[in-house]
Homo-oligomer: A and B are copies of this chain.
């Protein structure tokens, strides 16, 4: 195997992403937007018939397709592990008690944050072109919040312990379960007429998902403290017996294994891998700082997360936007995506626990980014055939991709402004920051 092309690709992408990050930070914007825009530029700037992708031998697969390109696969793996580690570290900062204490509000936020976007998205397409399947898939793509983007903003601002942050994270977990339900229903309706079987399937996957989430939360609440006490007792008795500190198991290694296991399992049952990673983090949340596990996971995230935001940008194909019709669609869909989550989730926060306007705004904006999840939903729609035609049109697919990326770019600066207004600058950036 030849290491050089892989190494050069990682170097060039990492360097460009970091330059984008720094430039945007310089102008007071969240650095991740710079990374996304660098990604868009890399995917779309062609000089003399060659793009940087060709030079670096990166071949982005068509939506929903498997990649056979080594360099893209390696980059993609880094991107996904980056966001998995990011959510793992968010989990490490989320004690199960605090998550449960925001449970009711999170449910309102997630629930209305699913219903309002779906209805608005569905209604828009029905009114505009009247194609039922297209309308359903656009609705489903509007539902999925990508918590990775908000998580990074919150982590960079060191505001993880604020109640609004807890609610956003809790709502994101519920949102992912609900989003899965919506997608399953939409797929089921588009796929075939055998509704009986579909409903059984649907119930099974929902029950699986709920049991999984509940089981991990229960483990974090009841078993984690016991395991910890057992370990401590063993260490003490070992030291008493031998006069030495036990070599012991490296908590960080155990953490990675549990994180990967739950991420893979979540993905396997149809949830997002990052939800599994978040839950895995919660299992260790009580004592993560003792072994420095949290800092170590942050280090892994720092190294890999830029590839994630870069990859979000790489999905954007600007050449799809040539007609004014499609430009108008893009603008409307983006507006609907912004407004629907902002109102739905903000309202949820108000109904859930009568939060004040500032907090409702923070939560509404924090739930806006759709990121990669919306793109995945859209690519599924592109691959389901209904009467010989895909359930989603190529044009709408491009619109959804732009919507997903636009919400991801628009939300972070607003969110950090709202946070800063509510929680005055109580924080000074250090070289330890992720960005």
Residues on A lying within 8 angstroms of B by beta carbon are 1-4, 6-8, 10-11, 14-15, 18, 22, 25, 61, 65-68, 70, 72-74, 76-77, 80, 244-245, 247-253, 256-257, 260-261, 263-264, 267-268, 273, 291-292, 296, 299-300, 302-303, 428-433, 435
CB <8 Å contact, A256 and B14 = yes
CB <8 Å contact, A80 and B3 = yes
- Which residues of B are found within 8 Å of A264, using beta-carbon distances? 4, 7-8, 11
Q: Assess A267 versus B431: contact at CB under 8 Å? Given A74-B73, A303-B300.
A: no
CB <8 Å contact, B14 and A247 = no
CB <8 Å contact, B260 and A428 = no
A264 nearest CB neighbor, chain B only:
B7
- Which residues of B are found within 8 Å of A11, using beta-carbon distances? 257, 260-261, 264
Closest chain B CB from A40 CB (angstroms): 19
A3 nearest CB neighbor, chain B only:
B80
CB <8 Å contact, B300 and A1 = no
Closest chain B CB from A3 CB (angstroms): 5
- Which residues of B are found within 8 Å of A430, using beta-carbon distances? 245
- Which residues of B are found within 8 Å of A80, using beta-carbon distances? 3, 6-7
Give the CA-CA distance A300 to B299 in the complex, in Å: 7
- Which of B15, B70, B248 is A431 in contact with, Cβ under 8 Å? B248
CB <8 Å contact, A1 and B268 = no
- Which residues of B are found within 8 Å of A261, using beta-carbon distances? 11
A69 nearest CB neighbor, chain B only:
B70
Q: Assess A73 versus B76: contact at CB under 8 Å? Given A7-B264, A247-B25, A250-B433.
A: no
Interface-central residue, A76, A77, A251, A291, by most chain B CB under 10 Å: A77
Give the CA-CA distance A432 to B110 in the complex, in Å: 40
Closest chain B CB from A72 CB (angstroms): 8
Closest chain B CB from A368 CB (angstroms): 24
Closest chain B CB from A35 CB (angstroms): 12
A432 nearest CB neighbor, chain B only:
B292
- Which of B76, B245, B292, B431 is A1 in contact with, Cβ under 8 Å? B76
Interface-central residue, A73, A291, A433, by most chain B CB under 10 Å: A73
CB <8 Å contact, B18 and A253 = yes
Closest chain B CB from A22 CB (angstroms): 7
CB <8 Å contact, B299 and A73 = no
Q: Assess A73 versus B1: contact at CB under 8 Å? Given A267-B7, A273-B7.
A: yes
Closest chain B CB from A29 CB (angstroms): 13
Q: A249-B431, A250-B302 are in contact. List 19 more A-B contacts (CB 8 A).
A: A1-B65, A1-B66, A4-B264, A4-B268, A7-B263, A7-B264, A7-B267, A11-B257, A14-B257, A68-B70, A73-B74, A247-B433, A250-B433, A252-B302, A291-B431, A292-B432, A296-B302, A300-B300, A300-B303
Give the CA-CA distance A397 to B199 in the complex, in Å: 59
Give the CA-CA distance A267 to B6 in the complex, in Å: 12
Closest chain B CB from A92 CB (angstroms): 14
Give the CA-CA distance A256 to B70 in the complex, in Å: 22
CB <8 Å contact, B3 and A245 = no
CB <8 Å contact, B61 and A1 = yes
Q: Assess A260 versus B7: contact at CB under 8 Å? Given A2-B66, A70-B67, A73-B73.
A: yes
Give the CA-CA distance A169 to B80 in the complex, in Å: 35
- Which of B70, B428, B429, B431 is A73 in contact with, Cβ under 8 Å? B70
CB <8 Å contact, A267 and B3 = yes
Closest chain B CB from A14 CB (angstroms): 7
The 8 A-B pairs at the shortest CB distance, nearest first, are namely A11-B260, A7-B264, A299-B299, A296-B299, A70-B73, A247-B429, A4-B267, A74-B77
- Which residues of B are found within 8 Å of A291, using beta-carbon distances? 431
